[in-house]
Structure 1
Amino acid sequence: MSDERDETQGVDISEAPGWQAIDRWVTTHFPAATPHQFASRTPYELDEPSPLPAITVFETRAPAGWLYVSYGLSELFDKSAPDPDLSGFGFELSFRLPADNPDGSLNEHPPLWPLKLMQALGHHALSTGGGFDSGHILDLGAPLVPPGSDGPDDCKLSALVCVPDPALGKIDTINGSLLFLRLIAVTADELEILSKLELGALVPCLAELEGLGICDPARGSFLDDPQKSKILRRYKLGIEL
């Protein structure tokens, strides 16, 4: 990315208790090699393509893959938001990819295309004063993976659903609480069903479809899968187990 850089040691967080809290929480759940940190040269500048201060990508195990976490929608440094119980907007975004290769191995560096996606969503949140919550649906109207990027070609996923992160959940920091919102990518035909579900059905439906909240950008529609199509149709009919 032209305006971001991979700097695992490039950001001084000694005066950033919110940042440190996120680091501690995520590495407790996903202990692995040194994370890849992509720090923006233009944090909080809404006329720039990378307004989030940073996105950190953590290596995951069992299964192997990548976990992307945003930094900057909660309060990373001093407390300034008026609500003492919430840190900033009260959330950060997370996004999880499977292993890069069919044998389950990872490349040296994580894919870059999710960074642009999360920065765009961060721009939306910063410019609208939040804009995301559990159950929020965003129809991209285009493939999740842009053509010509370092992701798979012909991606069928074209919408995102926000749900509480199944692994990270919610934490309390010195600046207030924050919820990690996992971005779940879906196809247009899946969205047609999911968009009609109430939050109380939407979250368990997605948990049944993909319990770890991993986004495989190369997958086809769940409606073409004999087992997962049954889950979607059951929730469409209002039948929950």
Structure 2
Amino acid sequence: MSEHHEEEAVGWDAIDEALKAIYPEQEPKHYAPLIPYLLGGGDPLNGISVYERTEPVPHWHYVTYGFSELFEKESDDPKTSGYGFELTFRLKKETNDCEPPTWANHFLNNIARYVFSTGNVFAAGHHLNLNGPIAAEEETEIRAITFVQDPELEPIDTPNGNVEFLQVVGITLEEETAVQAWNCLKLMELLAPYLPMYVTDLSRSSLLQHHQIAEAVEEGIEKDGSSTGSLFVDFLEWKEQKKAFGKNTYKVRLGAKQAEPIAQVLKGRLSKGKSLLLHHEGGHVEFLPADQDAVEVQDGILQVKLQPDSCTVFIQQLVPQARTFDIPGFPGIQFEIVKSYIKDQQGEVVEVIG
């Protein structure tokens, strides 16, 4: 924090006070950009403080400064400071770690870059696929994140409005599928005994490998269904095939990467009388439960209405394998699963699914 802003940094000071209650005698390692973002710097956050912990497991506790209003009040909402939150991130401390890994700073700044550029904000219960490892240079199964309330930092009232502390938690792709098929907060509550303080551990594998957890997730899906009403997918497009005589038909193309997650969510949605909307720049498709199969376009969205037997067949066909298939007894629509190409940060294809 610069001396110029020190006296008027009421939001910053409020965050510092909240952290002093947990770390009364520890001076954090603080990282700030050399050039502020508003002056052309690359990092959107004003700063990140990192505290060293030994309990309940050794870890680094990262806290951001920049999603809330740190200095003077600028927004019109007196009750909320900026976006209304700051992020925290707890990363397992390895035995040979003397300094907190800097990749986590880049990671948190990337989240900030997304929020600042889109205006989309996060809340407890949200989740996000990272399209690769959480740490680009690490061999890790942690490839998605969820957001929970930081277990130690309660929301605070500042002169600029309310600020809550959202903790980023790294999860595996299998766990992300369970989040989508069931409920994020309920899954995180189930995993809590295995993730002390929701510390992200890059070396761990999926906790669904524990029979008890996998069984509890299945029971939860069966009881509650899925809370995921919409999915952003890696590839999706639909086309209307016009006919001179008879009704027009439709063709829907889906990426192989998303085939199984879509199947899992559909199980927990349509069986509970709920719909599922798929989003992609190539088109939007909504699946709805119905007594009779039908397909139509409403407000630019292709609506696919499936009766229970057709839904079961459709879910069985959603496997990550490139091919074309129909639903027996539903002549108005055809589906195609196409290969998904997974690329690294340099744009190079590193994996082909399908």
Matched, 1:107 2:97: yes
Q: Does 1:158 align with 2:143?
A: yes
Match of 1:82 in 2: 76
Aligned equivalents of 1:11, 1:89: Cα separation in 2 = 22
Letter in 1 for 2:122: F
Give the one of 119, 129, 139 matched to 2:109: 119
Query: Is contact 1:36-1:56 (8 Å) kept?
Result: yes
CA displacement 1:142-181 (0-9 Å, x = unmatched):
011112xxxxx31100001111111113111111111111
How far apart are the structure 1 equivalents of 2:7 and 2:217?
Answer: 47
1:161-218: CA deviation from partner (whole Å, max 9, x where unpaired): 1111111131111111111111011111111011233456345334354251110111
> Normalization by structure 2: what TM-score?
0.57
Cα gap change, 1:228 to 1:237, in 2 (>3 Å)? same
Name the CA distance, whole Å, in 2 between partners of 1:131 and 1:41: 26
Measured at CA, do residues 211 and 234 of structure 1 come closer, stay the same or move farther in structure 2, by a change above 3 Å? Answer: farther
1:20 corresponds to: 13
Judging changes above 3 Å, is the alpha-carbon distance between structure 1 residues 222 and 230 closer, same or farther for their aligned structure 2 residues? same
**What secondary structure, in the 3-state scheme, does the structure 2 residue paired with 1:219 have?**
coil
**Structure 1 pair 199/157, CA: closer, same or farther in 2 (3 Å)?**
closer
CA contact (8 A) 2:191 2:207 kept: no
Contact residue 59 and residue 67 of structure 1 kept, 8 A: yes
Paired position in structure 2 for 1:54: 47
CA distance in 2, matches of 1:109, 1:200: 32
Q: Larger C-alpha radius of gyration, 1 or 2?
A: 2
The SS at the match of 1:40 is coil
**Is 1:168–2:162 an aligned residue pair?**
no
Distance 1:235 1:60 in 2: 34
1:86, 1:178 within 8 Å by CA — same for their partners in 2?
yes
**Identity value in percent:** 33
Report deviation, 1:130. Answer: 4.2
Unaligned runs of 5+ in 2: 225-354
Report the RMSD for the aligned CA atoms in angstroms.
2.3
Between stretches 107-116 and 29-38, larger displacement belongs to 29-38
Structure 1 residue 221 corresponds to structure 2 residue 206: yes
Corresponding letter in the other structure for 1:165: D
Structure 1 gaps, min length 5: 1-9, 148-152
Kept after mapping to 1: 8 A contact 2:124/2:185:
no
Distance 1:50 1:118, change over 3 A: same
Number of equivalent positions: 221
Contact 2:33/2:41 (<8 A) preserved: no
- Aligned pair in 2 of structure 1 residues 190, 76: CA closer, same or farther (>3 Å)? same
Q: 2: distance between equivalents of 1:183 and 1:127?
A: 19
| 2:125 alignment partner in structure 1 | 135
Amino acid of the residue matched to residue 33 of structure 1? Q
Residue matched to 2:275: none
- The structure richer in strand per residue is 2
- For 1:89, what is the secondary structure of its paired residue? strand
**Closer, same or farther: CA 193–222 of 1 in aligned 2, 3 Å:** same
Higher RCO structure (Cα 8 Å, ≥6 apart): 1
Q: Is the alpha carbon distance of 1:53 and 1:232 closer, same or farther for their aligned partners in structure 2, counting shifts above 3 Å?
A: same
Aligned partners of 2:161, 2:100: CA distance in 1, in Å?
31
CA distance in 1, matches of 2:146, 2:39: 24
